[in-house]
Amino acid sequence: MPDSEIIALIAALDQPDPDIRRIAVMQAVDWVHDHSHLFARASRDEDAGVRLEAVKALEGDASGDGVNALVDRLGDEDAEIRAAAAESLVEILDPAAGPVLLVRLEGAQGQARAAVLAGLRKLRQDGALEPALDCLGDPLASVRLEAVRVLGYLRHSGAVAGLTERIAVDGDAEVRRAAVGALGFADPEAAAPALLLGLRDADWQTREEAAVTLGKLLPGMAVGGLIIALDDQYWQVRLKAAVALGKLKAPAAVPALIGQLSHAIGNLRREAVNALAAIGDRSAVPALTEALSDTDVEVRKSARRALDALA
């Protein structure tokens, strides 16, 4: 920004008319990263409209002035500004913002703490491990959820115990479900007990996520739990369990998978056929032959490919 325009912006921010101050912020948005201290100043304006435009302008700004201004606005009296500050924090992708956010996390409370964690999530700061683990015990579910997400992004073995505990004891289904998904980075054998617990969760979406994650990690000890999941009352859980069992190439699952070929949901029948094909057990040939007459064309196609592979 030319010096003359900086002087003009500073002068405009001193004008008594809030509309002039607000418009000045909007017009100078292209220079926010070079002069974030001026936008930080505007974020403290007495007029909510000016503060809102300043917070929006600071989206993604990793400077100390910008990050601190956004964290300060998480406590704004205006709900729209608080929400905008939280959204702007999430858009910061520069690791340089990490140390500032970690410092501010120490004093943050309530939803502000959740927003700071959300800002840290994609930055993958090694220093965020212990603070995120500490936040797993926060009374607010939104804070625990963001802490789980930070740990999932860090992909650190030191997070496994904390994530496992959330699956076992957290009272919020969304937190448990996120913890299950976050274990997708872990050592398969280390994560398997927690994921098998997730397969028995009261929330069906958590059970579904557990089946998906087991299908990524493929621990051998998961076969029995996944076979049981083929009897889940929700077909979505059954489908993900079938996919995982196919990846595991588990012959023990063949009878239970054949049982899915009479289910009302075509997508489930198709994935059961695909799993049987992946396992490659010829005991499934009669059932697959019968599936050639299925009412769903995609099931018939999959059955034909499966039989060709087993020929």
Question: CA angle, corner 154, sides to 149 and 159, nearest 5?
Answer: 80
Q: Which two tokens stand for residue 206?
A: 């958590």
Which pLDDT value is given to residue 3? 66
Answer whether residue 132 shows pLDDT above 60.
yes
CA distances (Å), origin 84, targets 52, 143, 252:
7, 18, 52
Question: CB-side exposure of 278: number of CA atoms within 13 Å?
Answer: 18
Binning pLDDT at 50, 70 and 90, where does residue 116 land?
very high
22-63 confidence digits (pLDDT tens) = 999 998 888 887 889 989 999 999 999 999 999 999 999 999
- φ, ψ of residue 296 to 5 degrees: the values are -95, 125
- What percentage of the chain reaches a pLDDT higher than 90? 91
Rounded to an integer, what distance in angstroms lies between the CA atom of residue 274 and that of residue 255?
A: 14
pTM: 0.91
The backbone region for 236, taken as left when phi is positive above 0, alpha when psi lies in -120 to 50, beta otherwise, is alpha
Residues 227-237 have a mean pLDDT of 98
Closest to 93 (Cα-Cα) out of 69, 125, 133: 125
Question: Rounded CA gap, 48 and 38, in Å?
Answer: 16
Report the C-alpha gap between 98 and 115 in whole angstroms.
Answer: 13
Tokens for 187, please give them.
């050592």
Structure tokens at 268: 């489930």
For residue 287, is pLDDT > 70?
yes
